[in-house]
Structure 1
């Protein structure tokens, strides 16, 4: 009986110590930041939105350690996107471009890569890849856009900065490509 009481006292003492443990770090949430009040660039297409490849549906911030095992996807424990990356990118596109809702051409995008990649313990870069498809009924065009941007620091904050910069840099070639497409409404015959 004395051994049982001593064991219970010891267990209760140990459980009380867990209250002294360092509290968990708060989770930092990120978006693409404030959008500047510049005028939107007109694009001759309707925008259908951005879909995401499997693995990019969540708000997790993904990274890979290329110098150890680049095939393993990891996520930051205390950093998250406020929404899945495809939703953030859709919002960025809608704020940056004036889409033509009367156009016969429809732009669909798929985000297939949105990762921070560690080349060493002290250096990382981000890699973004978008697949674009424009359809006007029976016809269509496809283009892939990708970019790698060095991260200013090898941590979540550096990854966020580089992913925002890379997303911004993909806007210009996407706009140029859609503006080169023949997206005029069909002429009515007399």
Structure 2
């Protein structure tokens, strides 16, 4: 084979290889489909205002290696939320809650996966919820927090763990709201 033919064959082979090795696109996740849809129409749903620190308004899935570098925040490169966690949470609350009779203000305080060891992780979520009367006066505020060991110490485990936490959060907030009088 002549040097020119060899060079052309090499260029063709490299070009074909480059076309086949496309960068992998991130997988996108949510908290799963609601088990049931209680509120058929969002027109009857009171206003839900969600506030969160800037870093929670991000579609990247965060984690922290508590055993190695507890002050460093990391992100999974090939996994993302389909929307920000506050948006996904609001959607789940609206579709699953039985007692959304009052306007709510929900502040995300924490939302991340934490590794205690290289082989053991948990997901952690902390919220402050304020219910308002129909005339916009605060009725009550409560801080909630949840944590759960993940089934696997990776992005898949984080997504699955957060799906469970969000269901727990919706149930706990719903139970709290159930004690409020009907407006």
Class of the TM-score when normalised by the shorter of the 2 chains: 0.7 to 0.9
My pick for the range that moved more, 90-99 or 22-31, is 22-31
Unaligned runs of 5+ in 1: 1-8, 185-190
User: Do the aligned partners of 1:50 and 1:89 also contact (CA within 8 Å) in 2?
Assistant: no
TM-score between both structures, scaled by the size of structure 2 = 0.78
Structure 2 counterparts to residues 51-70 of structure 1, below 5 A: 51-70=51-70
For 1:28-83, what per-residue CA distance to the aligned partner results, in whole angstroms no more than 9, with x for missing partners? 1001112223645xxxx824243222211111111001001222111111110000
Q: 1:75 to 1:168 in 2, by over 3 A?
A: same
* Residue aligning to 2:81: 81
* Residue aligning to 2:3: none
SS in 2 for 1:63: strand
My pick for the range that moved more, 152-161 or 18-27, is 18-27
The number of residue pairs the alignment matches comes to 165
Structure 2 counterparts to residues 136-175 of structure 1, below 5 A: 136=133, 137-175=136-174
For 1:104-141, what per-residue CA distance to the aligned partner results, in whole angstroms no more than 9, with x for missing partners? x4211112211111111111000011110112234431
Unaligned runs of 5+ in 2: 1-6, 40-44
User: What RMSD, in angstroms, separates the aligned Cα atoms of the two structures?
Assistant: 2.6
Q: 1:20 to 1:106 in 2, by over 3 A?
A: closer
The whole-number CA distance in structure 1 between the counterparts of 2:104 and 2:91 is 15
SS in 1 for 2:109: strand
TM-score between both structures, scaled by the size of structure 1 = 0.76
